Amino acid sequence: MPHDATVIWNALLSVAGGSFIWWVRGISQQVQDTKRYISDTREEVAKTYATKADVEKDLGKIMDRFDRLDAKLDSFLVKVK
């Protein structure tokens, strides 16, 4: 009888140990996947940044349009007086 109990105990420990190792491997894989996703996200976000030259160029276009609008408004106000 003690021999049967030892076999059952060894089987239970083997299943428990195997399950634990399988769970740790799954968690490790999830951590690696998360690190890869974070790395990919950093690369994708960097593609969407505007450079300083782009911002200055766009701001220059906006200021030119405001200057033209200001000139038109000034000429309109001069005509109204």
Q: What is the pLDDT of residues 27-52, one digit of tens each?
A: 999 999 999 998 888 777 767 788 89
Q: Is this prediction's pTM over 0.85?
A: no
Q: Write down the domain spans for the chain.
A: 1-49, 51-81
The 10s digit of each residue's pLDDT in 5-17 is: 899 999 999 999 9
More confident residue, 4 or 57: 57
**Spatial distance between the Cα atoms of 18 and 6, rounded to a whole number of angstroms:** 18
Average pLDDT over the chain reads 89
